[in-house]
Chains A and B, each alone.
Chain A
Amino acid sequence: MIKARVTVTLKNGVLDPQGKAIGGALSTLGFSGVGSVRQGKVFDLELDGSDKAKAEDELKAMCEKLLANTVIEDYTVSVT
């Protein structure tokens, strides 16, 4: 079995009102010096098989087809 993590983040230049609100809350809590906060998503997956290269290709296809909206989001895939 292969364990994988997919991280989906907003592209640069796409406004993130949620991240902005979180940044505001952090400064309210006294965490000073937080320049910017961008919110994203993490997916942990378990895949059958042991071929990591094949798994990576498949994960990228999953991102393109469903996990990320490539109009506004970037993704990274890591297989362990």
Chain B
Amino acid sequence: MKSAVIQLPGLNRDRDMIAALTQVSGKAPITVWQTETELPDVDLIVIPGGFSYGDYLRCGAIAARMPVMAAVAEKARQGVLVMGVCNGFQVLLEMGLLPGALMRNASLKFVCREVRLEVANANTAFTRGYSQGQIISCPVAHHDGNYFAEPETLKRIEGEGQVVFRYAEGTNPNGSIDDIAGIISESGNVLGLMPHPENLIEAAHGGSDGLPLFEGLLGKAA
């Protein structure tokens, strides 16, 4: 699997993502700086987590308007797999590649803890490593992860199976509507999620529940 990781000023989870992709695929991803206007020929593009542009204006808003994102949008249109984690999810929403918005946590607090996730749709390129309804552990670390969508949009994404991950067992850390933790595009090739699967892939992390996501991707795009 060939992958690329987008880098922006203020991101801080890019190294973790690069490490996870390298470990699982055996090949280091290509890193692409925000000012690039073209992307290499890869199977997967990842926008990692952090605080691009200091979360100025709105989380992910400035990053979403950087030159490289037009190239990401074009690749997404062509069907290339795109994954945004945490700040990367916020960027994908700001780009309009995914529906809805992420707002300030209902508690107004930054949350950094492990939550339980339900795999609400295991029939995607990103979740084929899990079974439908499986409950996994995953860390979250964010201030603005409170997913919101208008009733019509919500009805549509729920009906189409676009809700891929849900906070389970009362662990919703941010007030997200319908406990939504991650959603996929209608076309099935763009995933955004708040939790950090790249931070739970080996025993030293305290578990490896994030590993099947990367292994599933590898199986698909190898």
Contact = CB atoms under 8 A, between A and B. Distances in A.
Interface of A: 14-15, 17-18, 21, 65-67, 69, 71-72
Given A66-B57, A69-B94, A17 B106 contact: yes
Contacts of A21: 108
Given A14-B148, A66-B65, A71 B101 contact: yes
A69 B108 contact: no
Given A18-B108, A21-B108, A66-B57, A71 B100 contact: yes
A69 B175 CA distance: 20
B2 interface: no
Interface string B106-118: 1110000000000
Q: Chain B CB within 10 Å — which of A14, A18, A66, A69 has the most?
A: A69
A14 B105 CA distance: 13
Interface string B138-157: 00000000101110000000
A69 B106 CA distance: 19
Nearest to B58: A69
B211 interface: no
A18 B58 contact: no
Interface of B: 57-58, 61, 65, 93-94, 99-101, 103-108, 146, 148-150, 175
Contact of A15 (B93, B94, B106): B106
Nearest to B94: A69
Contacts, number: 36
B153 to A, nearest CB: 8
Contacts of A18: 104, 108
A26 B217 CA distance: 50
Contacts of B61: 66, 69
- 10 tightest A-B contacts by CB? A71-B101, A72-B101, A17-B106, A17-B108, A17-B104, A21-B108, A69-B58, A69-B101, A18-B104, A66-B65
Contacts of B101: 69, 71-72
A71 B61 CA distance: 13
28 contacts: A14-B103, A14-B148, A15-B103, A15-B106, A15-B148, A15-B175, A17-B103, A17-B104, A17-B105, A17-B107, A17-B108, A17-B146, A17-B175, A18-B108, A21-B108, A65-B65, A66-B61, A66-B65, A67-B57, A69-B58, A69-B94, A69-B101, A71-B93, A71-B99, A71-B149, A71-B150, A72-B101, A72-B148
A15 B146 CA distance: 10
Contacts of B104: 17-18
A37 to B, nearest CB: 14
Contacts of A66: 57, 61, 65
A12 to B, nearest CB: 11
Contacts of B108: 17-18, 21
